[in-house]
Structure 1
Amino acid sequence: MPEPREHGRDAMSGPANAAFSELYSAYAAGRLDPAFALLLETQSMLRGDVRHALAVSETISGVVLEMAEPARMSAGAATRALDLIAQLEGETGRAASRQPEDRELADLPDPLRTPAQDAFAAAGWQGTAPGIRRMKLDVGSELDVELYRIQPNARVPRHTHGGMEFTLVVAGGFSDESGSYGPGDLAVKGPDDTHQPVGDPGDVCFALAVRDSGLRFTGVMGMIQRVLGR
């Protein structure tokens, strides 16, 4: 599959040569929005350069933390921490024991698998257009987070964007007016971009989208959207 063109690339889509960027630093410090943290963690499972950049940033954060002046712990802090760890381990065990109803979700990268399975159990896939399905994921963010399933050659309705949209290809691939995107590639679109993603021939495309505003469809879909007030 050809490499995506440079249009719309940023630190998460191009080679991770800025290992000390604000993006990775914010993640290592635990200050990155949960939606972008999921996007970055999922991309790191697909691309070695991103995985390396995260490891470097986490190492640097660890060194800085060790150099910081230690703070006195409050009474009972250690016990509360151990209780929280036990609770988290219990939730992880319960999630691992679930048998997903949609077998395709079991093949998703680890960071994405559980929120996708939770969304499937809660509401399942929603139809958008022929060959296009989506699920809204709840990851504790105010941003819109959706997982798309695009059949080969299926067309997402042409649309613009109310804000910024970051779409990570998790499996398969899609193409639009700016190029072709495969696993680990990130398509970045803004309010000035109008495009129509089309699933590449071959495998089903799964894509994780994070946006700060809704899609604005054009053509007939746009008229329907305006009538419904969405």
Structure 2
Amino acid sequence: MSPNDPNSMSELYSAYAAGRLSPAFALMVETQAAIRADIAEDVATSEAIAGSMLEREDKVLLAPNAFERALKAVEAIEADEAAAVSAAKKAGEGINELLALPEPLRARAIEACSDGGWNKMTRGVSRLDLSGNAFVQAHLYRIQPGAGVPQHSHRGDEYTLVVQGGFTDHAGTYGPGDICTQSPTDTHQPVADDDGVCMALVISEGGLKFTGLLGMIQKVLRK
């Protein structure tokens, strides 16, 4: 998928507008739209089309307790916001980087940092688990300038959205708002640009499969 071709993501945006995306993919779409105005416009167009189609549907009476359920949903959102503020106080070092992230990624990252914190993968590369126990995984990667994620393939499709900075792999260079896609048959090694920390949101339908020595260690640990 070309990082400069938003039309190639149109099906994903349509699924988002229709409410059919998993939370992880919805987070990716919302974050990309917060970074790039052209993507926000595409998402808005998809939502308008979905809304128009919804208006043509036959009207259905609401359940008797629909209003009460809506109020509880609003209260839950407000509680989540309060929890995010509390989590921010616990996040400590590195909180300024998290605060610089666009919403809704910012709140998710702060909460995850409070719950489990960053896990160091290799020198210069750390990641934050945003997905919990969800089947579709979401991780925020922090890659120091010049550092790289070890060469790997994937157990499923992978989407990497650059949130800050940039990285390069064998296929090209990606900057803020670009999405790099990888299939289970692809192998790559993203290396962060030298001019700053790269923050990337990675959505995957399976874990990483490392090559070389790390791959051998990974196989042993899985036994």
1:167 aligns with 2:156: no
Compared with structure 1, are the counterparts of its residues 139 and 50 closer, same or farther at alpha carbon in structure 2 (3 Å cutoff)? Answer: farther
Contact 1:115 1:138 in 2 (8 A): no
Partner deviation per Cα, 1:86-132 (whole Å, 9 max, x = no partner): 33234324424643423211111111111111111111111111101
1:209 aligns with 2:212: no
Partner deviation per Cα, 1:26-85 (whole Å, 9 max, x = no partner): 111111111111111111111111100111111122222233222112223223322322
For 1:186, which of 152, 157, 179 is the aligned residue?
179
For 2:71, which of 78, 82, 90 is the aligned residue?
82
Q: Which has the higher contact order (CA 8 A, sep 6+)?
A: 1
- How far the C-alpha of 1:229 sits from its partner, in A, is 1.8
1:122 aligns with 2:122: no
Aligned CA RMSD, in angstroms, stands at 2.0
Q: Distance in 2 between matches of 1:37 and 1:53?
A: 14
Partner deviation per Cα, 1:116-160 (whole Å, 9 max, x = no partner): 111111111111111010111126731121110000001211111
Contact 1:35 1:139 in 2 (8 A): no
SS where residue 56 of structure 1 aligns?
A: helix
Residue 15 of structure 1 aligns to which amino acid in structure 2?
Answer: D
SS where residue 110 of structure 1 aligns?
A: coil
Q: Distance in 2 between matches of 1:68 and 1:24?
A: 21
SS where residue 57 of structure 1 aligns?
A: helix
Q: Distance in 2 between matches of 1:228 and 1:93?
A: 39
Q: Distance in 2 between matches of 1:215 and 1:165?
A: 9
Runs of 4+ in 1 over 6 A off after TM superposition: none
Compared with structure 1, are the counterparts of its residues 124 and 70 closer, same or farther at alpha carbon in structure 2 (3 Å cutoff)? Answer: same
TM-score (norm 2): 0.90
1:65 aligns with 2:54: yes
Residue 169 of structure 1 aligns to which amino acid in structure 2?
Answer: V
1:48 aligns with 2:37: yes
Residue 202 of structure 2 aligns to which amino acid in structure 1?
Answer: A
Q: Distance in 2 between matches of 1:25 and 1:202?
A: 35
Contact 1:154 1:199 in 2 (8 A): yes
For 1:131, which of 118, 124, 136 is the aligned residue?
124
1:22 aligns with 2:14: no
Q: Where does structure 2 lack aligned partners over 5 or more consecutive residues?
A: none
Q: Distance in 1 between matches of 2:135 and 2:209?
A: 19
